[in-house]
A and B are shown apart, each in its own frame.
Chain A
Amino acid sequence: MAHDHAVAAAAAHPASEKRLQIERDVISAMQRPGLVYWGLVGFFATVFGVCLLGAWAYQIYKGIGVGGQMNPVGWGIYIVNFVFWVGIAHSGTLISAVLFLFRSKFRSSFNRAAEAMTVIAVMCAGMYPLIHLGRVWYAFWLFPYPNQRLLWTNFKSPLEWDVFAISTYLTISVVFFYVGLIPDFAIVKRYTRGLRRHIYSALSLGWVGSKQQWRNYNMLYALLAGFATPLVLSVHSVVSWDFAMGIVPGWHTTIFAPYFVAGAIFSGCGMVLTLCIPMRKLQKLERVMPIDHFEKLAKTMLFTSMIVGYAYTVEFILAYYSGNVYEFGVFKDRAIGHYKFAYWIMVFCNVVSPLALFIKRVRRSLGALFVISIFVNIGMWFERFVIIIQSLSHEFVPYAWGNYSPRWPEVSIMIGTFGFFFMMFLLFAKFLPVVAITEKKEEVH
C-alpha cells in the first residue's frame, strides 16, 4: 500500500505529468480509425493494384516496349522514379541517424515518421529496377547464388552494387525502425486491450526498461546510427555511380556521388515536410511537433539546396572550361535543347524557390514550407529526369540522337507507386506511434 502511495505520488509529479501528456498525445493519434481513413486506405490500395500491378502485368505480357524507352534512351522514367524514391528514403536515415550522432534536438519530432518513410520509400524504389528489366522473370539472376552453370554475377557492374546497396539499405533501415519502436510498443501495450495488446506486447519483446535493457539498447542504437550514417552516403553514391561509371557525357562526372547524396537529403527533407505538416494538423500533434523543429528542417533543406546549386554550377562551368565538344554539347542541349523545360523547372524548384527560406517568416510558416516542399519534390524528380534522359538523348554520335517521352504504362506505374506509398504511410500513421515517445520524454526536465 505504501508502495501504491509512492506510485501515486510519483505520477502526481509535474515532470511525470508532462511525460504522460506526451504519451496521451501520441497514443490518441492511434485511436479508432474512422470511415474516411479506411476510405483513403482503400482508395490508395486500389490505385496501387490497378495502376501499378495492372500496367506491370500488361508490360510483362507484351514486352517492355509498351513503354517509351528507345535507342538511344534505354532508361526511361522507371529509373528516374527509382532514383527519386531512393532519394526520398535518405532523409529518414539522415534525420534519425546523422542528427542522432550530432545530438540535434529537433530530430525527435520527425525521426519516427522519417524512418517509416524511409522503409516505405525504399520498397517503392526497389520495385523499379525490376519493373524496368526486359526479362523480369530472370531477375533472380542478379543475385549471386551457387548454380550448376558455375556462373556468378559481375561484381564490377554498378547495377550489381545497387543490388547490394539497396538490399542492405532496406534491411538496416527496417532494423533501425523496429529497434526504435521497441520501447514504444511496450508503452502502447499499456493503452490497449485484447488482441492488439498481445500483438504490441509480443512486438515489444517484453521490454520493461531495466538497466540491462537500456544499456544494451543505447549501445545498439548508437551502433546502428553509426552504421547507418556511412550507409546512407554509400547508397546514394552507388546510385549516382550507376550513371557516373558510364562514359555518357553528362553522366560521367566525379562530383556525382556527393552531389546525389546532397540531392537525396534535399528531396528527403522535402518529402518529410510534405508528410508531417498535414499529419501534425490531422492528428493534433502540435504539442509534440513544435514549429522550431520545422524551421530547423527548413534550414537543412536550404543548406542542401545550396550544395545542389553548387553542383549545377560547377558541372556547367567545367563543361565549358573543358572545351570538350561532347561534354559541353550535352549541357548546352540541357539549357536550350528539347528538354529545356525540364531543366528550367529543375533549376527553379531546386535552386531558386528554396532561397525564400532565407526569410525567417517563410521558414516558420507551415503553409509556405508545404508549398516549397512540393516544389522541391517536383524539382528533384525533374533533376533525375534531366540527368538520366537528356544525357542519353544527346550522346556522341549525332546520327543516333533521339528524344524519349514516357507512355501510359510508365505513367500509370508511377502513379501506382504513389498509391502504394500513401497506403503504407496511412497504415503506419494509425497503427504505430508516429512520434518516438521515449525520446520525447527524454527532453522533459
Chain B
Amino acid sequence: MGIRLNPMRWLLASVIVAAIAFGADRVLEPAAGGAITIAAALFIGLAEGAICLMAGAEISDGHWHRPLLPRAASLVYVIPVGALLFLVNIPQLSIYPWAEDPSGWLSKGPFIARHVALFALVFAVARKFVGEAVRGAQRTRFWAVIYVILFVAHLSMIGIEWFMTIERPWFSTLFGAFVMVSAFLSGICALSLTVFSWRRRTDAPSKLVQKSLGGLMFGFATFWAYFYFSQLIVIWYGNIPEETMYLAKRIGYHTPYWLPARLIFGMIWVTPFFVLLRRKNKTLAPVTSTLAVIVLSGVTMLFWIMLAPVVPVSIPLLVLLIALLTFLTASIVRSYDLLLRVPAEVVHEPAHQPAHSH
C-alpha cells in the first residue's frame, strides 16, 4: 500500500461526518429529502472517477499520470465515507415512488443489499488497484481493467437507481452512462485541484501532468455536452409525453428550474470549453483549478436538479455536507501532514517503466 493513513483518525472523521448528516437529517425530516443522496453521489463520483482516470492511464500505458498516483490513491478512502452516507440515508428511501409499490427488483431490502455489496466490492478492488499501481507491480494492468468495469457498473447503477427511479417509470437508456461521465469529469476536476494544492511544494507537477489534465478536462467536458445533447435531442424530437415530461419539468421555461438548468450547461461545458480552447490556459493551475470548482458545482447542481422537482431537497444540509466532505477529502488527499504519515519516497517515487509484460 503506497499510502498508509491512520485508520483510527480516518474512521473517526468519517463517522463524525456521517453522524452530523444523520442528525441533521433527523432534524430536517422530511424536508431533508435527497440532500444526502446528492452529496454522497458527488463525492463517490469524484473519488471513483479520479481513480478510474488513473486506471485508464495505466491501461493505455501512459506515464504522465504517475506523479498523481499517490494523491489519486488516497481518494480510495472517500468511497467508504460515501457508503456510510448511503446507509445514513436509508430512512430517506421513502422518497422513491417505488417505495410504496415495491417490485421484486425495486424494493428497499434488495436495493440496500446490492448497493452495500457494490460499495464493498468497488472499495476492495480500488484499494487493490491503487496499491499495485503505486508499487508499479506486475498485476496493475489487470486490476485496472477490473476496476474500470466496476466503476462503469457502479456509477451506472447509482445513476439509474438513485436518480432515475425518482421519476419512475420515466427512463432513458443513456442516463446511467451520463451520470458516469459526469462522475469521471468531476474526478478529473478533483485531481486538477490537487495539482493546485501542489504549487507551493517542492514536487511541483510537470507541465505534462497539467497539460494532460487540462486537455482531459476540455475533452470530457465536451464529451459530457455530447451526452447531454444526445439525450436532449432524442427526447425533444420524439415528443412522447412519457419522455418529454421529465425534461419539461426541469428545463421548461414554465418551471422555476429553467435558469439553473441553463447555468448547469454553462458551468459544465461552455465555460471550460471556451477557456481551455486557448492552449496556454491548460497549464495555468489557477485557471484549471477555478474551472474545476465551477465544473464540480455544476455537477452538484446537475444532481440536485435531477431530484429537486419531485422531492424536497434541503439546501442548508446539502451545503453543510459538501463543506464537511470537502474538508475530509482534502485532508485525506493531503493526508501526509494531517491524518497520516507517508514515507517521502512514495511521493517522490521515481517514474519507472510500467509493468510491461512481454
Residues in chain A within 8 A of chain B (CB atoms): 102, 104, 230, 233, 237, 241, 244-245, 247, 252-258, 299, 306, 310-311, 314-315, 318, 321-324, 360
Q: Judging by beta carbons under 8 Å apart, are B171 and A244 in contact?
A: no
Q: Which of B5-39 contact A (CB under 8 A)?
A: none
Q: Judging by beta carbons under 8 Å apart, are B173 and A254 in contact?
A: yes
Q: Judging by beta carbons under 8 Å apart, are A318 and B171 in contact?
A: yes
What's the nearest-Cβ distance from chain B to residue A330, in Å? 13
| Interface residue? B263 (CB, 8 A) | no
Contacts of A244 in B (CB 8 A): 234
| Interface residue? B172 (CB, 8 A) | yes
Q: Judging by beta carbons under 8 Å apart, are B234 and A252 in contact?
A: yes
What's the nearest-Cβ distance from chain A to residue B140, in Å? 15
Besides A255-B173, A255-B174, 18 more A-B contacts (Cβ < 8 Å) are: A244-B234, A253-B173, A253-B234, A254-B173, A254-B174, A254-B230, A254-B235, A255-B177, A256-B230, A257-B226, A258-B227, A314-B156, A314-B176, A315-B173, A318-B160, A321-B169, A323-B169, A324-B242
Query: Quick one: given A104-B60, A318-B171, A321-B171, are A237 and B230 in contact (CB under 8 Å)?
Result: yes
Closest-by-CB residue of A relative to B153 is A310
What's the nearest-Cβ distance from chain B to residue A406, in Å? 29
Contacts of B227 in A (CB 8 A): 258
**Which of B59, B60, B105, B240 has its CB near the most chain A CB atoms (within 10 A)?**
B60
Query: Quick one: given A241-B233, A247-B238, A252-B238, are A306 and B149 in contact (CB under 8 Å)?
Result: yes
Q: Judging by beta carbons under 8 Å apart, are B226 and A254 in contact?
A: no
Number of interface residues, chain B, beta carbon within 8 A: 28
Q: Judging by beta carbons under 8 Å apart, are A230 and B173 in contact?
A: no
Contacts of B238 in A (CB 8 A): 245, 247, 252
Q: Judging by beta carbons under 8 Å apart, are B222 and A314 in contact?
A: no
Contacts of A230 in B (CB 8 A): 222
Q: How far is the CA of A324 from the CA of B230 in the complex (A)?
A: 22
Query: Quick one: given A233-B226, A318-B171, A323-B169, are A254 and B234 in contact (CB under 8 Å)?
Result: yes
| Interface residue? B321 (CB, 8 A) | no
What's the nearest-Cβ distance from chain B to residue A234, in Å? 9
| Interface residue? B265 (CB, 8 A) | no
Contacts of A314 in B (CB 8 A): 156, 173, 176-177
Closest-by-CB residue of B relative to A252 is B238
Q: How far is the CA of A425 from the CA of B5 in the complex (A)?
A: 59
Contacts of B173 in A (CB 8 A): 253-255, 311, 314-315, 318
Query: Quick one: given A102-B60, A247-B240, A310-B152, are A322 and B222 in contact (CB under 8 Å)?
Result: no
What's the nearest-Cβ distance from chain B to residue A306, in Å? 7
Q: How far is the CA of A233 from the CA of B235 in the complex (A)?
A: 19
**Of the candidates A102, A237, A252, A254, which one forms a contact with B175 in the assembled complex, judged by CB atoms under 8 Å apart?**
A254
| Interface residue? B357 (CB, 8 A) | yes
| Interface residue? B253 (CB, 8 A) | no
Q: How far is the CA of A254 from the CA of B130 in the complex (A)?
A: 34
Q: How far is the CA of A256 from the CA of B231 in the complex (A)?
A: 9
Q: How far is the CA of A249 from the CA of B67 in the complex (A)?
A: 49
